[in-house]
A and B are shown apart, each in its own frame.
Chain A
């Protein structure tokens, strides 16, 4: 049977959630296209990970070696290109993560396999692979058709396929890795943990998130006052940290903090998916933005389409009045 490969992602010995999402996506496609789901697990001391994924796949290809403990795209690429060449799966799914972005384009280019990145969905239509993606700061979606080929590689955006456990009982096939020496031209040195700051935004019931829309650093004061009136903390999207207006530990999003407060107020945030990943599970989401088509309104429960400079000061006054 034709194969559908899923690359399992793990870090510091823990499987990452994207792996279950990829396997869920794979099952959906496999049922429709009559494919065999094979998880590719390159790791070391993998018993725990195998336990967690064995219901999600028909088969697990296990490459067990200490060199796979930490991610190095070069060594992953050498082993993956070998197995993909040998088995020519119809599709290989990789997460659109820091790991996948570093690996997929090089792997697919080496193999001369058509690929697409950051896909939200994919379907085969008349043997052609059609993917759904987003462009222009997430404001528009696209359908794209890939060059016809017996094999494809796709990276999938996190959160696109909520994990649903399968009822497989994967056969585990141990394979000997082709390459287990880390190349001297790219060496993993260490992981460095994020510094711990004075405010932990993940512990607050109310988070006010600010983005590019606040325009000037001096407008931060107005936001701090709003946060004080409601007893919340100020978080932000990436551009605010890039501009050094707030420290990195205030960043909400996939490369920052994941927050789940009772109330999240997004002010001047357009809603790039990296930010949304960090706040979409908040109980109530309010968005204030002047662009009615800003993607953040697709995540919000309540919205105000207006100039934040006009709304925020009045909002603070009204909250203080109602207290």
Chain B
């Protein structure tokens, strides 16, 4: 079973302070760490699990700048066989749609049974690329997948809906699945594997190496701004002891203890 995993290197912002840069359209990146997008790590692990079951080949693919090679190398260390970087520096601020178009142009030259992507990128948060890519490739898809049970021809999948409800589908391969966090336990790459991956070649594709169709941009960022305050929070100040005392007082005042 041949599998393609599309990944993205993103700034890790969940636990970090984020500030807008001088262009007003992007963020200051110098103090942030970058890593593989969270749900992509689960997509990669699911690919490795499928490979362990069916054998085959895993290709990881990313549209990114040269530092994306580090992320692709981690993917190789975790079990991917080939890595391809499409040079982001050859394209001018592609949006999610154009990214899907570029990925499609490369993927149509590769054999595959399943394409896995993360269900959302934590930076731009569109949840578009996987399903768009499936439509461009004219293959079936399922978004928000929390369980994959495949054979060579078809796959049963569970999609996670609201309030914990699961939708069980039966899909014909080749197909594209967008993977949710929590579907598996992503492995860590061993030191030996990382060392071995350091020597592997990462295929670099420039614009001139890809047979592109007419590229389209659907949306352009006009500005970034701090979300307006919708509810006035009262921030308790002081040492941990002081703030905790104030908070306990509020809890008592409300009659909850």
Contacts and interface: CB of A to CB of B under 8 A. Distances in A.
A168 B223 CA distance: 37
Interface string A92-119: 0000111101111110011000111110
Nearest to A262: B256
B216 interface: yes
Contacts of B220: 144-145
- Chain A contact residues (Cβ within 8 angstroms of B): what range? 35 or more
B254 A284 contact: yes
A207 B11 CA distance: 31
Interface of B, secondary structure class, is mixed
A314 B224 contact: no
A140 B227 contact: yes
Contacts of A117: 126-128
B183 to A, nearest CB: 9
Contacts of B212: none
B73 interface: no
B125 A102 contact: no
B172 interface: yes
Contacts of A140: 18, 20, 27, 224-227
B172 to A, nearest CB: 4
Given A147-B219, A186-B142, A191 B166 contact: yes
Contact of A130 (B218, B222, B227): B222
A193 B158 CA distance: 12
A286 B165 CA distance: 29
Interface in B162-208: 162-172, 175, 181-182, 185
A81 to B, nearest CB: 11
A231 to B, nearest CB: 8
A76 interface: no
A144 B219 contact: yes
B70 interface: no
A142 B170 contact: no
Given A144-B221, A255-B160, A255-B161, A136 B250 contact: no
Given A109-B136, A318-B248, A187 B169 contact: yes
B249 interface: yes
Given A186-B142, A189-B168, A191-B168, A298 B231 contact: yes
A142 B20 CA distance: 11
A175 interface: no
Given A74-B140, A98-B159, A187-B169, A318 B182 contact: no
A262 B27 CA distance: 37
Nearest to B223: A143
Interface string B121-160: 0111111111110111000111110000000000010111
A320 B84 CA distance: 58
Interface stretch (B51-59, B108-116, B239-247): B239-247
A116 B218 contact: yes
A161 interface: no
Contacts of A311: 240, 243-244, 247
Q: What 4 pairs across the A-B complex have the smallest Cβ distances?
A: A194-B164, A318-B248, A242-B182, A105-B131
Interface of A: 11, 16, 71, 73-74, 96-99, 101-106, 109-110, 114-118, 130-131, 133-147, 183-194, 205-206, 212-213, 230-231, 238-239, 241-242, 244, 248-249, 251, 254-258, 262-263, 270, 272, 284, 286-287, 291-293, 295, 297-307, 310-311, 314-315, 317-319, 321-323
5 contacts: A98-B160, A136-B122, A205-B256, A244-B185, A298-B231
Interface of B: 11, 13-18, 20, 27, 97, 100, 119, 122-132, 134-136, 140-144, 156, 158-172, 175, 181-182, 185, 216-231, 233-236, 240-241, 243-245, 247-252, 254, 256-257
